[in-house]
Amino acid sequence: MARVLLFGRLSDVAGWRERQVDSPFLSALRAELSGEDAALGEALAGKGVQVALDQVIVRGDAALNAGTEVAFLPPMSGG
């Protein structure tokens, strides 16, 4: 089970901030989330949204291990 975290406007779109999702790959996790909630799927694929696995930014697909922390980060606003 990967631990999924949503930040900024993404958690407003989804109505949750954190949950467990059972997916072997990041691509499968995206498909699973957008299957459940098309608006969230679209927001996650939106311009400037980055993904961090265990707090490291990744690009493209990646394998997820049990307990991997997957964070979806919309464009950062600065403080």
Contacts of 30 (CB under 8 A, 6+ apart): 41, 44, 45
Nearer to other proteins, 20 or 47 (CB): 47
Nearer to other proteins, 24 or 42 (CB): 42
Q: Does residue 25 sit in helix, strand or coil?
A: strand
Backbone angles phi, psi at 28, to 5 degrees: -70, -35
Q: Are strands 50-53 and 2-6 parallel, antiparallel or unpaired?
A: unpaired
Nearer to other proteins, 35 or 56 (CB): 56
Closest distance of CB 77 from other proteins, Å? 4
Closest distance of CB 44 from other proteins, Å? 15
Q: How far apart are CA 8 and CA 13, in angstroms?
A: 9
Give me the residues that bind other proteins (CB under 8 A), please.
Answer: 5, 7-9, 12, 52, 55, 71, 73-79
Closest distance of CB 35 from other proteins, Å? 26
